[in-house]
Amino acid sequence: MDLSKKRTFNFNAGPSALPLEVLEKAQKELINFHGTGMSIMEMSHRSAKFEDIHNGAITQMRKLFSIPDEYEVLFLQGGASLQFSMIPMNFLTIDQQAGYIMTGSWSEKAYKEAELFGKPYEVASSKENKYSNIPALVDFQFNSDDAYVHLTSNNTIYGTQWSVFPDTGNVPLIADMSSDIMSKPVDISKFGMIYAGAQKNLGPSGVTVVIVRKDLLEKANTEIPTILKYSTHADSNSLYNTPPTFGIYMLGEVLNWVEEKGGLEAIAKNNEVKAKVIYDAIDNSNGFYTGHATPESRSLMNITFRLSDEALEKQFLSEAKEAGFVGLDGHRSVGGCRASTYNAVPLEACRALSDFMIHFQTKHS
């Protein structure tokens, strides 16, 4: 059976689309993985077979993302939301400052957690512009003795994305890349730490990837619970407790898929083409559709837009759903429309959405 004929146009913001090839392979291997007579979900995380899967995923991530040897790659749980707390727990003391660049709801949540452990402050913010842009680098002022500077690389709710990252000198730069990790090449050496929930570009929900410089672990706070120390997971190869085994297996297969597609350079080019198809439908609509993000800050992962009339907007979303488009509703906190075009969303789906948008405008203009 050709499963692709029965699949929807999935624009969900997360959990989001996964590569069909990966899903089909997982389906074949689900009950009897490589002749073991059991599923990966039944397999001991201490077994040699799972160790191969686990280490293979780490190796593939290092290769594709060009991660230097001086960084640890960890597979944790709790999502990016737990990282909002773990970061200040490990790297911020009560009398230290940490700079936070405010670009949306996730930045706000990270900042709030940091207030429990130290003295966070706003380096810059675009809140007054309803988070429609990434703050200009010239506006940044941070202290040379800050514990770290934190940013969110892509903002799912408002549809903005960093194109150039700030140079923070000797102050570690920490980035929440949950919604655009592995969507393009990144110079890892600019960061002290990168973290990301897997459920956008890396696999199913349940796995959190942390890429952290080893020297930061040596300076981290030791007076916190064992399981909340990054060093605990680094010392045990992320096997301190039972990991999300199936999620790690899927993550590894998604990384293999990225390699088969030509690596991050090819993925990035495809993401640019996909986003342009939809942004063109917005920009050429003469105001029928209005994008939330300013053009220079637009995300290639989450395209946010509105229609001028609220009733018409509801009709658009209703007809889109009937036409097989899933996940186009904007985040509940802001409303509107949002198309999430993560790595696994095919170009054909973006073209279909563009055609639908143009057709809907023609009917209602």
Percent of the chain with pLDDT over 90: 95
pLDDT of residue 1: 41
Q: If pLDDT is split at 50, 70 and 90, which confidence band does 5 have?
A: low
Query: Which domains, from first to last, does the chain contain?
Result: 24-260 (3.40.640.10), 263-364 (3.90.1150.10)
Cα–Cα distance, 294 to 283 (Å, whole number): 12
The model's pTM: 0.96
Count of CB atoms situated within 10 Å of the CB of 198: 27
pLDDT in tens, 207-250: 999 999 999 999 999 999 999 999 999 999 999 999 999 999 99
Q: How confident is the model at residue 4 (pLDDT cuts 50, 70, 90)?
A: very low
Token look-up 């393009």 returns 184
Report the pLDDT value the prediction gives residue 6, as an integer from 0 to 100.
73
Q: Which residues are catalytic?
A: 106, 176, 200
Mean pLDDT of 143-166: 97
Residue whose pair of structure tokens reads 């050709």 in the numeric block:
2
Other CB atoms within a 10 A radius of the CB of residue 291 amount to 19
The two three-digit tokens of residue 135, written as one number: 């703050």
pLDDT, tens digit (0-9, with 9 covering 90-100), for 263-298: 999 999 999 999 999 999 999 999 999 999 999 999
Q: pLDDT digit string (tens) for 288-344?
A: 999 999 999 999 999 999 998 999 999 999 999 999 999 999 998 899 999 999 999
Indicate if the alpha-carbon torsion angle 207, 86, 186, 331 is positive or negative.
Answer: positive
